[in-house]
Structure 1
Amino acid sequence: MVKHCEAGCREPDLHRIRPFLVALLLWLAPQFLFAQSTSFRFAWLSDTHVGATSGEEDLRAAVHDLNSMSGLSFVLVSGDVTEFGSLEQLRLAKTLLDGLKVPCYVIPGNHDTKWSESGATDFLRLWKRDRFVFEHGGLCFIGLHQGPIMKMGDGDWAPQDVRWLERQLKNLRDKTQPIVFVTHYPLNDSIANWYVVLDLLKQYNTQVILCGHGHANHHYSFEGVPGVMGRSNLRDRAPVGAFNLVEVKDGLMTFAEHKIGQPTLAPWYSVALERHAYGADTNHYARPDFSVNARWPKVQEQWTFQTGYAIAGSPTLWKDLAFFGDASGALYALSFRDGKVRWQFKTAGPVYCTPEASDGVVAFASTDGNIYALRATNGAEVWRYETARPIVASPRIVDRVLYIGSSEGEFRAFDLASGHLDWHFDGVAGFVETKPQFYDGKVIFGAWDEHLYALDAKSGGLAWKWHGDRAGAMYSPAACWPIAAEGKIFIAAPDRKLTAVDAKTGDTIWRTGAYVVRESIGLSEDQSLFYARAMTNFIYAFSTAASQPEKRWELNAKFGYDINSAMLVEKGGVLFYGTKNGLLLAMDAKSGALQWQHRIGVGVLNTVVPLSGSEVLTADVDGKVSLIRAGD
C-alpha cells in the first residue's frame, strides 16, 4: 500500500538541505582522511643525553638500528639531546643524528638550555632552528620547547615562542587540520605557564601531544587532549637502549617500544585520530592562583613594562635608570619611576646577564660574544670587546675596573673607561654565569666545573681554588652569587649544602647539608647575617661571624617547593626574595617575620632589586618588569 503524505508533509527542499549536507561532509572529512589516507611510520627518540654515561653509545646504536629499517618516514627527538648543553656535546649529538638516512626533527630540552654555556644559542647555530613545523600524511607536526633558559625552575613558554606558535596555527590550511604537538615537558603544571599553549592547542584539532622528560612510556589526558610520554633512549640498567616506533594507520596512532637491535615489542598504547571539539568541554580546569594579593591590598604594582621576550637576568640601577637585557638581544634603559623607555641598544644575540653600572657607564655581555660598555645616559657605545664564544656571565665593577667571566675558560679584567684588557686568567675549566664577588683584594666566582675560584684582583693570578665533596659539574657552586663577610666566602650549591670558605686560603671553615638549600643566598646590610632559602618553604638567617653554622632565625614562608636560583636581597631592614612561580616575599630582616607577599606572575622571578624597604623592582622570565610598592 502506498502511504500518502498527511497534512504538513512536504517534498524534500534541496535548497535547504544542501548547506546542511556540505557542513556534515566538512565535519566528516577528517574522519575519512584518517581512515583512508596512506599509512606511515616514524621513530620517536627522547632524552638521548649525549654526554651522560652511555648517551653517545646508545644514540650511535639507535641511529645504526634505524638506518637498517625500511619504511620509516622521519625521526622525532623530543628534547634533552645532551646531558649538559655544551658545544662539544651538541656537536657530537648533531654528528650522530646527521647519520640518519631519513629526515630528523629535533627540539632541545631543559638539559640543553639550563646548563648552557651559550644561552642555548649553540643549538640554533648547529640545527638552524630550535622548533619545527612540517606536514606529513595530512598531519601537521609542530615542535616547540619550553626551556627553561639558564634558570633552575619549572618549564616556561617564552613570549617569543608563543607568538611563533600562534603564527603557525593561524597559517594552517584550515582550522580543522589535525595537529601533532611535540615538546619536552608534559603539558601540565610542570610548566609554569602550561595553560598558555594548552589553551591555544585546544582551539584547534590537536590529535595528541608527544613529550619526553620522564624517561618512561606513559599516557596522559592534558585537560582532555591526548598525551603520550616517550621513554629515554638511554639503556639505564638494561643491556641496550630503546625508543618508540609510531605507526599511523586506520585512524589510529600506535606506539610500540623498540629495544635497539631486537624485535619491536607489541604496541603499548594507541591514540584515536578523530575530529576534536575541545570548546564543548564544560569541565573547569585549575589555573594559577593570585588570591594571595587580596591579603595585602596595599601592595600594588606601580607600573609594568612588557618586553615581549624572555628575561633571564636582573635589572641594575644607576641614578634614576634601570638597565636590563632580554632574549631579543636588547639592553633597555627604563626610568624606574614611571617605567618609560629612555633608550635601548641592540646586540646580535640574547642578553641573559645582569648588567652593572658605575661612573656613567653600563657594562654587560651578550651571547653574540661581545662585552659592551655604553654611556649610561644615552646608550652610546663606549667600547666593546669581542670574544670567541657567547657570554652568559654577569660583570662586576670595582674602582673603575670591570671583572667578568666567559664561556671559553677565561676570566678578564678591563679598564672601565677605555676597555683596555688589564689581565686575563685562562685556567677556568667550565663556563661562568655568576656575578663575581670582590673581597679582600680578590675576585671570587664559581664556574660549572665543580670549583670556586679566587683571583688576585690586580694581577689575575690564582690565589686559591676550592672544590666540594661531591663530584659532577651539575653540583658546581656556579649559579649563586658568592657573598663575603667576616673573612669568609659563603656559597650555596646544587649539592644542597651551605659552605663557608676561608677568604685568604680557600680552606673549608664549615659545611652543612642540614638545611637542604640550593644556590639562593644573600647578605644583610650590616654584614652580620647571611640568608639562605631552603628548597621547601623555609628561609634562614645565619651569623657571618660564627665558626660553625649558627642559625639566628627561620621562617616557614609556605611557598612550597622552590629551586629558583635568585638571590635574597636586603634593603631598609626588609629582606626580599622572588620564587620560581612569581611570588615576591618581604620579611623583617632582623626577626624573619613575614611582612607581605605579592604574586606578580607565574614564572621565575629573577633576583629582585629593592629601591627601599617598601619599593622593589622585579623582572621575570616572561619578560615583565614591574615596580612594586607596599603602602603604609
Structure 2
Amino acid sequence: GEIIWSYKFDDTPYISETLDSLIFIGAGKVCYGFDLVKQDVVWAFETKNLITVPPKIYHKTVYVGCWDGNLYALDFKTGRLKWKYQTGWSIDSIPEIKDGLVYFGSLDNCFYALDEKTGELKWCFKCKAAIHSSPTVYGEYVFFGCDDGRVYALNKTNGRLVWNFIPKYSIKEDANNYITTPILSTPVIHNGIIYISIEGYVYALDAQTIEVSEGKKIVKPSPFKYILVSLICMVTLAVLLLLHFIAKVKIGHKKD
C-alpha cells in the first residue's frame, strides 16, 4: 500500500480502463487523457457540464457521457472529438459498445443505440423514467435497469422490447402511495443468468426471453423442445410403420 505517486484533480475523478499506458478520467467538466508513465495529463477535452461516470474505452475511442446531455467520442491519443450525440437531458451511465453499436441510457427517459463510427442514431427506446443504470449486452439482447422500477431486455439490433421485469415496490413510511423503486445497478450476466441488485436484494433472472411482437407474446423455445418434438415424431412414425406391418401380416394370414 505504499504510495508511488499521486496527482490532484480539482474535482472528483472517475477513472476508466487503461490503453497503451494511458488512463482516461472524467473530472468536473473535463475528460482527461493521463499518461501513467509520465504521470501527467497529455490531453484535456472540455464539456459544458459535469462528468459523473467513468469514460469507456473501446477500439481506441474514448466514450464519455456528460450532464450537458452529450455522449462524446474522442480519439484516445489526442482527445480530438470524433463525434457527439445530443440527448434530451443528462447522461449518468457508462456506455456499452458491441458489434458496431454504442448503447447507453439518458435521464431523458430514452435508451439509445448509435453507430460506433459516426454517432448516427440507429434506434431509441422510450422508458417511463430516467436511466442511470449502465447497460450490458449478452447474446442478441441488451439489458439495463431504469428509474421506472423495471429491468429491460431489448433486441440489440432493432430496440424492440423483449421483456421487462418488475420487482416488488417499496413504500415510504410518511407516504400513502406506493412509489417505484429506481433500479440503478448494472446487470451482470453469467451462463445465461442476469444478476442485478435492487433495494437490498440480488435478483437472478433467466435470460431466456419472451419476445413481444405486434402485441403478442411469442415464447422462444429452448433447443430441448426441438429435440423432444423430433423424438415424438420419430416414435409416432415407428408406431405407424409397426401398425402397417402388423396389418400386412394379418392380411397374409387371411389369404393363407
TM exceeding 0.5: yes
Runs of 4+ aligned residues of structure 1 deviating over 3 Å after TM superposition are 471-475
Partner Cα distance (1:496, 1:412) in 2: 28
Alignment of 1:57-76 (within 5 A): none
Partner Cα distance (2:102, 2:89) in 1: 19
Instruction: Write the deviation string for residues 58-97 of structure 1: whole angstroms up to 9, x where unpaired.
Output: xxxxxxxxxxxxxxxxxxxxxxxxxxxxxxxxxxxxxxxx
Q: Normalising by structure 1, what TM-score?
A: 0.31
Whether 1:416 and 2:116 are equivalent positions in the alignment is yes
Match for residue 378 of structure 1 among 59, 78, 91: 78
Q: Which residue of structure 1 aligns with residue 182 of structure 2?
A: 476
Partner Cα distance (1:452, 1:496) in 2: 15
Partner Cα distance (2:109, 2:115) in 1: 20
Whether 1:497 and 2:201 are equivalent positions in the alignment is yes
Q: Which residue of structure 1 aligns with residue 149 of structure 2?
A: 450
Match for residue 362 of structure 1 among 62, 69, 72: 62
CA apart distance, 1:432: 1.4
Partner Cα distance (2:197, 2:6) in 1: 32
CA apart distance, 1:339: 2.8
8 Å CA contact 1:352–1:392 kept in 2: the answer is yes
Alignment of 1:171-570 (within 5 A): 299-311=1-13, 313-327=14-28, 329-426=29-126, 428-471=127-170, 475-478=181-184, 480-493=185-198, 495-505=199-209
Q: Secondary structure at the match of 1:303?
A: coil
Partner Cα distance (2:69, 2:108) in 1: 10
Q: Secondary structure at the match of 2:48?
A: coil
8 Å CA contact 2:133–2:183 kept in 1: the answer is no
Q: Which residue of structure 2 aligns with residue 554 of structure 1?
A: none
8 Å CA contact 2:169–2:180 kept in 1: the answer is no
Matched letter for residue 186 of structure 2: W
CA apart distance, 1:474: 6.5
Partner Cα distance (1:416, 1:302) in 2: 37
Partner Cα distance (1:496, 1:445) in 2: 17
Partner Cα distance (1:431, 1:336) in 2: 36
Matched letter for residue 323 of structure 1: F
Partner Cα distance (1:300, 1:481) in 2: 32
CA apart distance, 1:357: 1.2
8 Å CA contact 2:16–2:57 kept in 1: the answer is no
8 Å CA contact 1:325–1:352 kept in 2: the answer is yes
Q: Secondary structure at the match of 2:4?
A: strand
Instruction: Write the deviation string for residues 363-411 of structure 1: whole angstroms up to 9, x where unpaired.
Output: 1111111111111110001011112212212211112321110011111
Q: Normalising by structure 2, what TM-score?
A: 0.74
RMSD (Å) for aligned C-alpha atoms: 1.7
Partner Cα distance (2:181, 2:99) in 1: 32
CA apart distance, 1:444: 0.6
CA apart distance, 1:338: 4.4
Equivalent pairs counted in the alignment come to 203
Partner Cα distance (1:398, 1:318) in 2: 18
Matched letter for residue 477 of structure 1: I
Instruction: Write the deviation string for residues 429-468 of structure 1: whole angstroms up to 9, x where unpaired.
Output: 1211222111121111101111111111111111111111
Question: 1 or 2 for the larger relative contact order (CA 8 Å, sep ≥6)?
Answer: 1
Matched letter for residue 381 of structure 1: L
Partner Cα distance (2:99, 2:140) in 1: 11
Structure with higher strand content: 2
Q: Which residue of structure 1 aligns with residue 226 of structure 2?
A: none
